Amino acid sequence: MCILSTNAQTQMATFSSRELDTVWRPEVLAYFRNTEFFHPAEEGRTRFGALVGLRRTFTMGTSRTAEVGGFVHQSFGAIPKFAPWVALRYQNDWSKVSFGSILERSHSLPRQLVNPDLRYAVPIVYGMSGTATGGGFRAQYWVEWLSAIDYGSPVKERIHGGAIAGWVGKRARLEGVLQYHHVGGQIDTSPEVDGNRLNFGLMGRINAGPLEVRAAHLRYADPLARFGPEKSGHGSSLEAQLRMGKRASLDASYWQAENFRAPLGQGLFQSRNPEDPMSWYRKDSQILGLGLGWEGSSSLRIRAWYDIAERSLQPSVTWVRYVVLDPMVATKHKTSQGR
């Protein structure tokens, strides 16, 4: 048996975007993530485990495919969970639409809007996603059911949707981002708070050889103040990444915000703890970040966040290894190089 590894932007991105084969090939994604956070809005935790399974694709015409399979998710300290992989996809010259399993949890969102820990805690969700391109413009959209309810269930329904659209050039891009969060449902009986919230803003990116510069201005809106006293907030970020050869990279970032909240974002960047909003509050936030990355047969990220107000350092280490197992030793097969 030959083991076929990937060497792309990240092992997780390759796992999420790999074009499937028409034969069964076992896949293994192993991960380790340690966050030594001592921040009042973000608990430190260690998470490691593996996602093991098979997927394959079936052609259903010139532009339609179906994907089936399944994964077992084993996280340390938890009961193994089976996650079926079922997806229908339609593709033409300018668009792609998918229904069913969604692996890409980050959706190319700024880091302040999505917690990377979600990729490992809940690696597969279900919903709809798609892209459309034309004339230098690109749009990406999705709707995910994070939690569905049955009649009389005490669990709230949770839906996460969004879109990113704008101009995408060869070395620069400017896009608008919208993220929608719905909590509740007509048949739920839970006393928890329900309602709707939005995150939206602009983000841009410039590539100059080995240097990439990213900037974003993001806003939070809860017009009815259903989830706290703050009806609105905002934050701005500036990031730079320097590629040092084919494998190593160095990145630095700065974040400044006022009453900013993102329901699925990291607590480090927020004015309230997203998991317990009434336990802690700070109006203003300023954070410096520094990170080192390595892309070889596995991905390694070492980051440190310095909270200026708290005068504290919050480090994190993430390691991911993805392989596709080829049962036919004589068959030469390479995985997609990702996005």
CB 125, CB 107: distance < 8 Å: no
What pLDDT does residue 5 have?
A: 38
What pLDDT does residue 318 have?
A: 95
CA atoms within 13 A on the CB side of 199: 29
Token duo for residue 277: 């909003």
What pLDDT does residue 189 have?
A: 67
Inform me whether the pLDDT recorded for 106 exceeds 80: yes
Domains of the chain as residue ranges with CATH: 2-230+315-326 (2.40.160)
Instruction: Report the alpha-carbon distance of residue 2 to residue 4 in Å, rounded.
Output: 6
Instruction: Report the alpha-carbon distance of residue 157 to residue 188 in Å, rounded.
Output: 8
What's the CA angle centered on 131, arms 99 and 300, to 5 degrees? Answer: 90
Instruction: Report the alpha-carbon distance of residue 74 to residue 159 in Å, rounded.
Output: 25
CB 190, CB 154: distance < 8 Å: yes
Count CB-CB contacts under 10 A for residue 79: 7
Q: Is residue 262 exposed (0-12), middle (13-18) or buried (19+ Cβ within 10 Å)?
A: buried
Instruction: Report the alpha-carbon distance of residue 337 to residue 304 in Å, rounded.
Output: 28
Strands 95-102 and 137-147: unpaired
Counting other chains too, the contacts that 67-74 makes at CB distance below 8 Å and 24 or more residues apart are 67/20, 67/100, 67/101, 69/24, 71/27, 71/123, 71/124, 73/49, 73/123, 73/124, 74/49, 74/50
Instruction: Report the alpha-carbon distance of residue 332 to residue 211 in Å, rounded.
Output: 34
| pLDDT tens profile 248-287 | 999 999 999 999 999 999 899 999 988 788 888 999 999 9
Token duo for residue 2: 């030959």
User: At residue 265, what are phi and psi to the nearest 5 degrees?
Assistant: -90, 170
CB 321, CB 296: distance < 8 Å: no
User: What mean pLDDT is predicted for residues 194-213?
Assistant: 95
What pLDDT does residue 147 have?
A: 79
CB 208, CB 240: distance < 8 Å: no
Considering the entire predicted model, what is its pTM? 0.87
| pLDDT tens profile 122-173 | 888 899 999 999 989 999 999 998 877 776 667 788 899 999 999 999 999 9
